Amino acid sequence: MTFEEFVASRLAALLRYATVVTWNPHLAEDVVQEVLVRAQPRWGRISRVEAPERYVQRMVVNEFLSWRRRAAARLLHLGDGIDVPEPDHAEQHADRDAMMRLIGGLPPRQRAVIALRFYEDMSVEEIADVLSCRTSTVRTHLSRAMDTLRAALPGTLITTKEAP
Amino acid sequence: MTTELETLVRELQEQRADAAPDPDRLRGALPALIARRRTTRTVVATVAAVLVLALAVPVTLSATGRRQAGPPAASPVPAATPGIPLRYGPTWVPDGYRERRRGLLVVDRETGSAVFRRWTDGPMLGQFQPSVRYLELEIVEMPARPGPTPDGVVDINGVAGTVFIGAAPNSTVVVTWQIDATHTARVQASPAISPDDILRVARSVRPDPAVFSPPVRQGRPGALPSGKYDMTADDPGHWSATLVVSDAAPLLTLKATVGPAFDVPEGGDPVRVRGATGRIVATAPPASNLKWTLTLVVTLPDGRPLTVESSVGGDPSAARESLVRAVDALVIDPAPDVSWAR
């Protein structure tokens, strides 16, 4: 698959994935743009790996998690609302809005882990491979993220329970 | 592990994914961005080198002439503070507005740095006053990159600029344009300021020889570490200066404020720092997976308070010594240039 074919077929999915990882459409566009601009000169090598899309997804996560990118997002976009999820159907869904904000407020690595786990349906081992860390680290991030969400979960939304 | 919570998270993630940017826009812009990358890298490297040089040689361009060029200052007492060119300024702001804040964001070579200046119609020191309206000019050290779809295109002195209006009620209006080959300008303002006035401010922006000398910085020679440096002044006698840096290893973050600070915790333990006795307070996080905060407060020799907050990982007691060392190493200008706040 050429770079152009990859962009033509996978860009929309990549942007959706990056939006879930970053929780910020503007930042997602920045991250994907940066990743693709960097990937293009190296596409000959990337295209030869077993799963080029997984490789690019890894680049997206790493770009997002890099301090520089997060600092840029935090510092350079002085406009309002850049990191705030968009309103979700006004007041009647305030609890879902609260959860949206809560996910957006998770530490970046935890947010990335839950994106890979639940949006991309990756196993803990696959996530560990993407993030270049140990599976125990992934489990810790996952557990902490879910604990945070569970603790703040509005009672009107859900009652948490473990499946058998 | 399958729980209702997981189902909810998946639903919300899908909902969030639906807000993803339009792929056609990026697809269309990508070829030009790739072609421009090589050129941009060269330009940014040059700009960064100039910035490093400017900061390494302590020459202050203050109009008062009270500082002279000289050898690099020995930390932590600054013989002179590096002057950061602000490059541009508006030649018109609405009646009643005065410049009350200026600062610098140092990010990295890829993203570029930015200087910003803020004009308000009321005081900025003290607790946040929602009634105070503001205008802000930001000069970013990078050519404009494609952003979200603008809500309009405007002419800024012969250059096509874009206007963004936030989706939320009472959002600020932001006007962005490429002001020279390597800089993007942004003007944004309180919602109460009319779009006509915002455009008038943008169109009045001209080269400005003013400089900003960060009154608080980390005691490292050469370039300023990545972070945010700013100064707020209601008048030359009433000011505060702040430094915010991430990755102030081994501390996670460090925010140092000279001047009034708010929400400073009470109590704490006495600590010897910067030749005086201050106090250090450890504040537990609201949840176990969040970070502790250490706050150090000390009175400087000129009587101004210095408040330093730091987010720390792990045991906060182990980070106390690191925080004291970091505060001792801060470079604090005892008499910064505040002449612009008149």
Answer whether A76 sits within 8 Å of B14, measured CB to CB. no
**Both tokens of residue B156?**
């800024």
The pLDDT value recorded for residue B165 is 67
The pLDDT value recorded for residue B100 is 94
Residue A32, chain B, CB below 8 Å: the answer is yes
Q: Which of A76, A100, A163 sits opposite B140 (nearest CB)?
A: A76
The pLDDT value recorded for residue B222 is 59
d(CA B215, CA B224): 12
d(CA B124, CA B259): 13
Name the residue with higher pLDDT: B324 or B8.
B324
Q: Respond yes or no on whether the N-terminal peptide bond of residue B250 is cis (omega within 30° of 0).
A: yes
Q: Which of residues 56-95 of A touch B (CB under 8 A)?
A: 67-69, 71-72, 75-76, 78-81, 85-88
> Residue type for B124, please?
M
d(CA B136, CA B119): 6
- Do A84 and A102 form a contact (C-beta atoms < 8 A)? no
Residue A24, chain B, CB below 8 Å: the answer is no
How confident is the prediction for chain B on average, in pLDDT? 76
- Do B154 and B175 form a contact (C-beta atoms < 8 A)? yes
The pLDDT value recorded for residue B228 is 81
pLDDT tens by residue, A30-68: 889 888 988 888 888 887 777 788 889 888 988 888 744
- Do B139 and B90 form a contact (C-beta atoms < 8 A)? no
Report the residue of chain B nearest A96, measured CA to CA.
B12
Answer whether B1 sits within 8 Å of A78, measured CB to CB. no
Report chain A residues whose CB lies below 8 A from the CB of B171: 80-81
Residue with tokens 């001047």: B259
> Residue type for A121, please?
D
Q: Which of B4, B108, B167 sits opposite A160 (nearest CB)?
A: B4
Residue with tokens 């949006």: A119
Tell me the mean pLDDT in the region A105-119: 89
Helix, strand, or coil here: A126? Answer: helix
Which of A38-42, A84-88, B128-132, B333-337 has the lowest average pLDDT? A84-88
d(CA A91, CA B182): 44
Q: Which of residues 165-184 of B touch A (CB under 8 A)?
A: 166-168, 171-172, 174
- In the predicted structure, residue B184 carries a pLDDT above the cut 50: yes
**3-state SS of chain B: helix, strand, coil percent to 5?**
20, 35, 45
Answer whether B5 sits within 8 Å of A28, measured CB to CB. no
Element (H, E) at B55: helix B23-56
d(CA A17, CA A20): 5
- In the predicted structure, residue B265 carries a pLDDT above the cut 90: no
d(CA B300, CA B333): 11
The CA radius of gyration of chain A, in Å to the nearest whole number, is: 17
Tell me the mean pLDDT in the region B193-204: 92
DSSP letters, B273-309, are: ETTEEEEEEEE--SSTTS-EEEEEEEE-TTS-EEEEE
Element (H, E) at B254: strand B253-258
Report the residue of chain B nearest A25, measured CA to CA.
B20
Residue A49, chain B, CB below 8 Å: the answer is no
d(CA B121, CA B131): 9
The pLDDT value recorded for residue A62 is 86
- In the predicted structure, residue A105 carries a pLDDT above the cut 60: yes
Per-residue b/e over B62-84, b at no fewer than 16 CB within 10 Å?
Answer: beeeebeeeeebeeeebebbbbb
Q: Which of B5, B17, B138 sits opposite A19 (nearest CB)?
A: B17
CA atoms within 13 A on the CB side of A155: 0
Which of A124-128, B49-53, B205-209, B234-238 has the lowest average pLDDT? B49-53
Which of B184-188, B189-193, B305-309 has the lowest average pLDDT? B189-193
The pLDDT value recorded for residue A74 is 43
Residue A6, chain B, CB below 8 Å: the answer is no
pLDDT tens by residue, B77-133: 333 446 889 999 999 999 999 999 999 877 655 556 789 899 999 888 875 566 788
Q: Which of these, A99, A71, A72, lies nearest to A85 by C-alpha position?
A: A99
Q: Give me the phi and psi of B43, to 5 degrees please.
A: -65, -45
Residue A12, chain B, CB below 8 Å: the answer is yes
Residue B228, chain A, CB below 8 Å: the answer is yes
The pLDDT value recorded for residue A79 is 30
d(CA A11, CA B24): 9
Answer whether A78 sits within 8 Å of B3, measured CB to CB. no
The pLDDT value recorded for residue B264 is 82
- Do B331 and B306 form a contact (C-beta atoms < 8 A)? no
How far out from the chain centre does Cα B61 lie? 21
- How far from each other are the two terminal CA atoms of chain A, in whole angstroms? 43
- In the predicted structure, residue B39 carries a pLDDT above the cut 50: no
Element (H, E) at A25: helix A25-39
CA triplet B19, B23, B28: central angle to 5 degrees?
145
- Do B339 and B64 form a contact (C-beta atoms < 8 A)? yes
Tell me the mean pLDDT in the region B237-244: 89
- Do B100 and B239 form a contact (C-beta atoms < 8 A)? no
The pLDDT value recorded for residue B112 is 60
Q: Which of these, B284, B285, B14, B22, lies nearest to A103 by C-alpha position?
A: B14
Task: Please state, for a pLDDT cut of 90, what percent of chain B lies above it.
Answer: 30
Answer whether B23 sits within 8 Å of A118, measured CB to CB. no
**pLDDT confidence of B246, banded at 50, 70, 90?**
low
Residue B249, chain A, CB below 8 Å: the answer is no
- In the predicted structure, residue B67 carries a pLDDT above the cut 60: no
Name the residue with higher pLDDT: B73 or B133.
B133
pLDDT tens by residue, B204-240: 999 999 999 899 988 765 567 777 888 999 988 899 9
- Do B224 and B213 form a contact (C-beta atoms < 8 A)? no
pLDDT tens by residue, B285-296: 655 545 688 999
The pLDDT value recorded for residue A42 is 82
How far out from the chain centre does Cα B154 lie? 27
